[in-house]
């Protein structure tokens, strides 16, 4: 009888161990998901044609709802466009044949931490300021191969040619 009790206790311990492992794994995945969610700086709101996002050396296919990270590069191939909304409400409409890198981004009004830096190697984009452009316009930096744009207004079109 004591052997059956020991076996039953062992099986109970195994079940508890499996449940603990499953709960621990779930907590880690949720924490990673929350951390990844906090790391994103923008969302792709619309895509027409072939638009790619280069991340860590790999080109991903941009899709509606995709989260963009600091250091992502947006490639709108010929006849393609993308609409992007940053966390502060900045809107960026990316035109065909564009190559735009997100160099820096910070939006933490409580800590007075603002940064918005893009490098536009080529193409066309329409920029419409969000809260960073209104609260700290000196924090917005959009560069092209030939010029750097300082934002003092709220909306402009920029074209970069190679």
Query: 7-36 pLDDT, tens per residue?
Result: 444 344 444 454 554 454 444 444 444 344
Q: Region 50-55: what's the mean pLDDT?
A: 98
Using DSSP bridges, classify how beta strands 140-143 and 67-69 pair: parallel, antiparallel or unpaired.
unpaired
Which pTM value belongs to this model? 0.74
**Separation between Cα atoms, residue 156 and residue 125, nearest integer Å:** 8
Which tokens sit at 110? 């409580």
CA angle 56, 62, 67 (to 5 degrees): 70
Burial of 141: CB neighbours in 10 Å, binned 0-12, 13-18, 19+: middle
Query: 123-148 pLDDT, tens per residue?
Result: 999 999 999 999 999 999 999 988 66
Which domains are assigned to the chain? 41-160 (2.60.120)
Which tokens sit at 102? 């997100």
**Separation between Cα atoms, residue 160 and residue 118, nearest integer Å:** 12
**Separation between Cα atoms, residue 68 and residue 87, nearest integer Å:** 10
Residue ranges with strand state E in the chain:
40-48, 51-55, 58-61, 67-69, 73-76, 81-86, 91-94, 98-108, 113-128, 140-143, 148-150, 155-160
pLDDT value at 48 more than 80 = yes
């Amino acid at each position: 009888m004591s052997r059956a009790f020991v076996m039953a206790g062992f099986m109970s311990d195994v079940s508890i161990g499996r449940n603990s492992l499953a709960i621990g794994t779930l907590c880690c995945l949720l924490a990673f998901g929350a951390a990844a969610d906090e790391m994103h700086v923008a969302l792709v709101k619309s895509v027409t044609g072939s638009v790619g996002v280069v991340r860590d050396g790999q080109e991903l296919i941009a899709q509606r709802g995709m989260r963009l990270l600091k250091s992502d590069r947006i490639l709108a191939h010929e006849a393609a466009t993308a609409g992007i909304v940053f966390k502060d409400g900045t809107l960026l409409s990316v035109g065909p044949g564009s190559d735009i890198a997100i160099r820096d981004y910070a939006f933490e009004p409580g800590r007075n931490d603002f940064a918005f830096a893009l490098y536009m190697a080529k193409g066309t984009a329409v920029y419409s300021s969000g809260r960073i452009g209104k609260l700290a316009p000196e924090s917005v930096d959009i560069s092209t191969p030939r010029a750097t744009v300082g934002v003092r207004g709220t909306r402009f079109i920029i074209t970069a040619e190679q």
